Structure 1
């Protein structure tokens, strides 16, 4: 049968010659000699019993028969490549599914992922950003393999293992040029005059914020918006006089660039531990171990 005599090299060579309208250019691209390309094309034409290419000036042009065959040849080569890619995915490393707080996603993960990809583990990676409690629940159910975030309350850590990375505290953030920045002596009570973006009830940093406000005589604030959206927080604070109560890592770059400013208040008492949380019964995963090592290294480099 005809199809048993056609080889992949026939299809590949024909496609390259047709693509470049040149035997010489196709030979260069494929890294073979021109006579080898010409021989392969003649073999294919002999098998098919049809002329696929004709000389035209210094190059070649595809015939009507060639145009018909090219559509099928291209589809065949694409199908073979899809099969190769499928086998590569089967042989890839185990997936790595990471949950990260917004502060970690902005501060740690970009560089960590660059270094992880350079290791060429071939493991598919999924990164989920969200609220700490939600991420920990996904870790428990096996949807995630690792959570990089704040240390949760003891009752939420059953069956989980925490490794400390670095401390992080809450900041009161405003836009550059905010009226509160002009006060010679900052009056904390003036916060009541402005809209406050607060972490939601149930979020890992909310108890730190509530205790801090209570100790400063601010048990209640009249104008608050609860949000976990850092994109909304950035946009709203830059465009209004709102005050954003947020973990400092989320706004590190904005503060460094001068777009946002922390209010001059000591919030060191809101400092909490950020680290790696995994399941105690998690199966071995070499790719995950590599990522954990990289996150440790990136964290140390950020601290230096």
Structure 2
């Protein structure tokens, strides 16, 4: 049974400290004093009978009890916010989803699924707030209840461990270059030739970069000195079209460039089957009808690939 001693201010303070990893920054965001935040967290810890944060010189970190509580506190606040919003928007029938998107689905799957979902809604007020970024960030936002779901290739991410993942399809990483590149059209491409050119890569600490690093280790190679590290598809495409660079990208992200003949795929595969692309939800959050409908739109869109 939920203790009547736990108030909304306790949950808000806990979530902000967990988000900021700092009592001082949390106090600033909440517009209250730092002692006030510390006092509120101490009260919550006394109510729960567990220490939620480890204090240190570099800030604070969640304890195991804190991580457990976080999985439920974030969705609880999110559900409350949705309830307030639903009451206010009921007369308009407004429906909004907050979706985290990885680069593996930005070009085709997600835009097509959004159009499918909106077309099937009876209400005129249907919107999707799409947040992009690294899988670690998006999954942490999902755990906090800040996102309704995350879509993309993320099964290698450590942060997915206590979330629910549903596989949709496999998507390989490919190596692409501009038309007329010295390696374009080479049938039996030796891996050693790749380091002669600049590379466009996902940033370190991303699930896609892990596959690239594994490729270099397997072939006994070192990354070249000239690198562009970014998750931006427009920046990557523009740089690759106008340079000698080799771009590592999910095939879906570059399929339009390949079909239009602006880029070509190298003959050397970076990986075999590819990674699992799917949708990830926080099972501790009660799914709305809008979210269930959107997940079905993602499944139908993926099945048509």
Q: Give the shorter-chain TM-score range.
A: 0.5 to 0.7
Aligned 1:213-292 pairs, distance under 5 A: 213-269=216-272, 271-292=274-295
Distance 1:293 1:267 in 2: 31
Change in Cα spacing, 1:293 to 1:138, as seen in structure 2 (3 Å) is: same
Query: Is 2:163 the partner of 1:160?
Result: yes
Among candidates 146, 149, 164, match of residue 149 of structure 2: 146
How far off its partner does 1:130 sit?
2.2
Distance 1:227 1:253 in 2: 19
- Residues 164-195 of structure 1 deviation map (CA, whole Å, 9 limit, x = unaligned): 00011111110111111154542321222211
Change in Cα spacing, 1:269 to 1:184, as seen in structure 2 (3 Å) is: closer
Please say if residues 254 and 260 of structure 1, whose CA atoms lie closer than 8 Å, have aligned partners that are also in contact: yes
Please say if residues 151 and 280 of structure 2, whose CA atoms lie closer than 8 Å, have aligned partners that are also in contact: yes
| TM-align CA RMSD | 2.1
Distance 1:250 1:105 in 2: 7
- Residues 76-127 of structure 1 deviation map (CA, whole Å, 9 limit, x = unaligned): xxxxxxxxxx976754244211111123121212221111111224343211
In the alignment of these two chains, the number of paired residues is 217
Secondary structure of 1:180 counterpart: coil
What TM-score do the two structures reach when normalised by structure 1? 0.66
Distance 2:273 2:223 in 1: 18
How far off its partner does 1:227 sit?
1.2
Secondary structure of 2:224 counterpart: coil
Q: Which residue of 1 aligns with 2:203?
A: 200
Q: Which residue of 1 aligns with 2:108?
A: 107
Distance 1:184 1:209 in 2: 21
Change in Cα spacing, 1:225 to 1:154, as seen in structure 2 (3 Å) is: closer
- Structure having the higher Rg: 1
Query: Is 2:165 the partner of 1:170?
Result: no
Distance 1:157 1:187 in 2: 36
What TM-score do the two structures reach when normalised by structure 2? 0.66
Query: Is 2:123 the partner of 1:119?
Result: no
Distance 1:125 1:184 in 2: 44
Secondary structure of 1:221 counterpart: coil
Gaps of 5+ in 1: 1-85
Distance 2:116 2:216 in 1: 40
Higher helix share: 1
Change in Cα spacing, 1:273 to 1:182, as seen in structure 2 (3 Å) is: closer
Distance 1:145 1:88 in 2: 18
Secondary structure of 1:191 counterpart: helix
Q: Which residue of 2 aligns with 1:210?
A: 213
Secondary structure of 2:272 counterpart: helix
Secondary structure of 1:166 counterpart: strand
